[in-house]
Structure 1
Amino acid sequence: MNTATKFAGFALGLAAVFGLALATGALLGPEPAPPAAHDTEAHTGQAGTPEIPGGLMVTDRGYTLRLENPIATPAPDAVVRFRILDAEGAPVTTYLPEHEKDLHLIAVRRDMVGYQHVHPTLDAAGTWSAALDLTRAGEYRVFADFVPNGGPDLTLGADLRVAGDYDVTPLPPPATVATVGEYSVTLEGTVTPGAPAPLTLTVRRDGRPVTDLQPYLGAYGHLVALRAADLAYLHVHPQGHPGDGVTAPGPGITFEVSAPSAGDYRLFLDFRHGDVVRTAEFTLHIAPDTADSAEAEHGAPGRPHGDHGATPAPAHTH
């Protein structure tokens, strides 16, 4: 058979296949339209797939965190400048306040040393500026937590390198109490991967409960949680707020925490008392969900999200 004949036969076969496909489509109806860009599945990949934690990407849903200079010289008040760019590369200049601020900037070294939570200033050209204590050299991760006007709630992350000798510090072991000067903070609660859970942090001063905490960022405390393995940034929400007639100003501050996986996490609690903001730091170990693991091993059908039959081990913090 010559080439022309082969090609003609192939074309006829292809036409038959397409004809069958069109007929089948007419019987079954049109293919469903893809999900809209704002749908959860559009940026989680598939239905039921957990959303990627914040802070792992420098670009997400059309917005980019662009550091003016990703290399810094050690200094106690190093000025860091950055922009948030939209999908067209233009700087974003309007934001929606969240926790009383247009943007929260979190900085921490990759070994969880040197945590800082600051609120930069924005100029007319869309450049943010903030002073950070970068006296200790090393690899830092900076997180911009913000809501652009008309856009989604985002946390973008970028690396900032500080020149000098890097004195790597091991992750502190889990414990249940953190001490900040004359204050002690106790952590109570258990977190299971994939399910929201309440954590209560109780503040005491010289052993006595503090019952007159001052509001800070619209709550009696602000909690940041980072996964130690990759510095994934978890959104943590306080329960209640000052002035709601229900939430007491201490000694306990309760948050709802959702952890995407088992492992070690670092928690940073900012609280305000005596007109001073202090930070209590904890290491939290989250154990695997033993009930789900047992079901997976024995082939038992999965349960609804958040339905856990076994009682997980208590959380330990420092």
Structure 2
Amino acid sequence: MSLVSRSTARRRTTVAAALGGALALALTACGSPASHDSSMPGRHTPSAASTAQGTHHDDSAMPGMTMNTGDGLVTKKDGYTLAAKAATLPAGKATSYRFAITGPDAKPVTDFAVEQTKRLHFYAIRSDLTGFQHGHPTMADDGTWTAGLGALRPGSWRLFAQFTPRTGAGKGQDFVLSRTVTVPGSAATTVLPKASTTATVDGYTVTVHGELMAGMAHPLTVTVNKDGKPVTDLQPYLGTYAHLTAFHEGDQAFAHLHPENKVAGRRGGSSLSFHAELAKSGNWRLFLQFRTAGTLHTAALTLRVS
């Protein structure tokens, strides 16, 4: 979904390296069962427990941090590749997607830094910006990731992997890489909803405050109300009180925005501040994920960037 926001202190020097060789060597026929908490707009799912991947969970957020990952519309960057064999996925039923992240030596990377409590964040979005899913795959010892996906509608989908190598040439550098897959069948396009500063989901009203201009950092505030009153029971989710992802209409460019609010207990208030920088003008589809009473909610709205 430079589009992903975190503070400039997180920006690292990119490393020019030779691109990897044969990608098929990165994949194996086996993988661990998927563990994900994919969410569809207007639908809520039980919150996922912490994934057991042998890593610690850093529940202290990094508020205000930004990442210079680009727009995520490339399969390869600085010698790192999102390697996968599948070019199609089945329609209308849960499925899984297997892939590996290969490094400049063409070997699968297995050592990843924990970012927002996970070693890798995985996203799926249809070309018309519907069907949003956000999950956290499991990795086998050989570096093969298995991402569980909910039922997909026919059409073209883009799958994103967001990660930070903990060792190697790209140590500490943040990446977002993606590949497209086709889901066979009659692919009717859904018209993007008109730009609006509010959205409702599961009885909650989400409102976005702030005027954004392409290529410039601006403050963005999101408030969450229920029954006309500000909520006070937001629960930590991925180390913050909310998770905000955005995709650009037309090319599906990716942006990941982090709230600047520090997690200060098991309950948070209704106002969330973001440091937003969206590089392109036009319509962006925003997906705000927040948790209350153990249930994960996903609100979607279209935001116009001038």
| Pairwise TM-score range, normalised by the shorter structure | 0.7 to 0.9
Q: Which amino acid aligns with 1:138?
A: G
Is the counterpart of residue 180 in structure 1 residue 187 in structure 2? no
Task: Give the root-mean-square deviation of aligned CA atoms.
Answer: 2.0
- What is the aligned length? 241
Name stretches of at least 5 consecutive residues in structure 2 with no aligned partner.
1-11, 18-67
SS at match of 1:56: coil
Q: Distance in 1 between matches of 2:256 and 2:80?
A: 18
Question: Which residue number corresponds to residue 79 of structure 2?
Answer: 62
User: 1:267–1:284: 8 Å Cα contact kept in structure 2?
Assistant: yes
| Paired-residue identity, % | 39
Q: Distance in 2 between matches of 1:145 and 1:52?
A: 9
Is the counterpart of residue 166 in structure 1 residue 187 in structure 2? yes
Deviation sequence 1:230-266 (CA, Å, 0-9, x none): 111123221032128xx98121111111011211111
After TM superposition, the score normalised by the length of structure 2 is: 0.74
Is the counterpart of residue 285 in structure 1 residue 296 in structure 2? no
Q: Distance in 1 between matches of 2:14 and 2:95?
A: 38
Name stretches of at least 5 consecutive residues in structure 1 with no aligned partner.
1-37, 44-50, 288-318
Question: Which residue number corresponds to residue 134 of structure 1?
Answer: 151
Q: Is the alpha carbon distance of 1:81 and 1:75 closer, same or farther for their aligned partners in structure 2, counting shifts above 3 Å?
A: farther
Question: Which residue number corresponds to residue 264 of structure 1?
Answer: 283
Larger CA Rg, structure 1 vs 2: 1
Q: Which of these residues, 239, 248, 253, is aligned with residue 232 of structure 1?
A: 253
Is the counterpart of residue 219 in structure 1 residue 240 in structure 2? yes
Per the TM alignment, residue 137 of structure 1 is displaced from its structure 2 partner at its CA by: 1.0
Question: Which residue number corresponds to residue 122 of structure 1?
Answer: 139
User: 2:198–2:208: 8 Å Cα contact kept in structure 1?
Assistant: yes
Per the TM alignment, residue 138 of structure 1 is displaced from its structure 2 partner at its CA by: 0.8
Q: Is the alpha carbon distance of 1:124 and 1:42 closer, same or farther for their aligned partners in structure 2, counting shifts above 3 Å?
A: closer
Quick check: 277-286 or 228-237, which moved more? 228-237
After TM superposition, the score normalised by the length of structure 1 is: 0.72
SS at match of 1:54: coil
User: 2:127–2:252: 8 Å Cα contact kept in structure 1?
Assistant: yes
Q: Which of these residues, 247, 254, 264, is aligned with residue 243 of structure 1?
A: 264
Per the TM alignment, residue 269 of structure 1 is displaced from its structure 2 partner at its CA by: 0.5
Question: Which residue number corresponds to residue 293 of structure 1?
Answer: none
Question: Which residue number corresponds to residue 91 of structure 1?
Answer: 108
Q: Distance in 2 between matches of 1:135 and 1:285?
A: 27
Q: Distance in 2 between matches of 1:139 and 1:145?
A: 20
More helix by share: 1
User: 2:112–2:163: 8 Å Cα contact kept in structure 1?
Assistant: yes
Q: Is the alpha carbon distance of 1:97 and 1:179 closer, same or farther for their aligned partners in structure 2, counting shifts above 3 Å?
A: same
Q: Distance in 1 between matches of 2:184 and 2:299?
A: 27
Q: Distance in 2 between matches of 1:94 and 1:182?
A: 41
Per the TM alignment, residue 131 of structure 1 is displaced from its structure 2 partner at its CA by: 1.3
Question: Which residue number corresponds to residue 276 of structure 1?
Answer: 295
Q: Which amino acid aligns with 1:286?
A: V
Q: Distance in 2 between matches of 1:236 and 1:144?
A: 15
Q: Which amino acid aligns with 2:245?
A: V
Q: Which of these residues, 108, 111, 123, is aligned with residue 106 of structure 1?
A: 123
Q: Which of these residues, 55, 71, 95, is aligned with residue 78 of structure 1?
A: 95
Question: Which residue number corresponds to residue 204 of structure 1?
Answer: 225
SS at match of 2:104: coil
User: 1:75–1:134: 8 Å Cα contact kept in structure 2?
Assistant: yes
Is the counterpart of residue 189 in structure 1 residue 206 in structure 2? no
Q: Distance in 1 between matches of 2:14 and 2:212?
A: 24
